Amino acid sequence: MTEVKRNMKTAPQEERETIISYDRQTETWHIYTDEPKHARKYEKYVTHPQRKGYNSAGQLIMLEGDIDGGTVSIRKNISEQRRKQMSEFQKERHRSINKMLLFSNRASQDLSEITQPN
């Protein structure tokens, strides 16, 4: 059952908070927020909220409940230039790892040839 509060006052900006926590035993994510922007953003992911708060204009300003689907991700917005830089970095990293593995495999083969009796 959802507890609905009407005519709530919006919390001052310095006191607003959003808390997202994970319960490993039940494998559920829980959210509490009195930040209106976050309440509106996450409302669609909480189908059975425990509490909702609305201001005098009828806008959602507070939300508490379990996030359905159990998926929470926070993605940073990055520019196309930064995305390309990261892609090139990962490609170069992948190449260097493959070189190390190739060298490691060759070294193992060389050692096995030396240590195995004829």
* 81 and 116 inside one domain: yes
* 43 and 82 inside one domain: no
Contact call for residues 54 and 7 (beta carbons, < 8 A): yes
What pLDDT was estimated at residue 42?
92
Tell me the whole-structure pTM to 2 decimals: 0.60
Q: pLDDT averaged over consecutive 10-residue blocks of the chain (118 residues)?
A: 91 96 90 96 91 96 89 80 93 83 62 58
* 8 and 50 inside one domain: yes
Sorted by sequence, the CB contacts under 8 Å of residue 36 that are 6+ apart come out as 10, 55, 59, 60, 61, 62
* 15 and 60 inside one domain: yes
What pLDDT was estimated at residue 98?
77
Into how many domains does the chain fold? 2
What pLDDT was estimated at residue 109?
60
Q: Domain of residue 56: give its range.
A: 3-69
* 82 and 107 inside one domain: yes
* 8 and 64 inside one domain: yes
